[in-house]
Structure 1
Amino acid sequence: MYKIDASKCTACGACVSGCYTNAIVEANGKYTITEDCVDCGVCQDSCAADCISA
């Protein structure tokens, strides 16, 4: 499952728009990836801050 490094996340939302399983949720201005993640990698490819890793 992919993870978001909250210290690097700019909360731009690019990862959310790319996630077709709706596995990325926002809370308190930061994004997290839930267990609904299917490891497709679209979020990582769309992240300009390079804060998403497998």
Structure 2
Amino acid sequence: MLADNETLTILNVPCAIRLLEKDVTVTELKTHYRNRYWVDARSGAVIKTE
């Protein structure tokens, strides 16, 4: 399990959703989880978790 303060790097994904310009922490991530990727509900950023 990832630590709450761990910083995750945002990927540049093919079907680009609007991405944040900086890394986010796990505590900033919200509800959606699909196929090893988190989607930050606030920004729409796609973040790989492994």
Task: Give the TM-score normalised by structure 2.
Answer: 0.28
Task: Give the TM-score normalised by structure 1.
Answer: 0.27
Between 1 and 2, higher relative CO (CA 8 Å, sep ≥ 6) is seen in 1
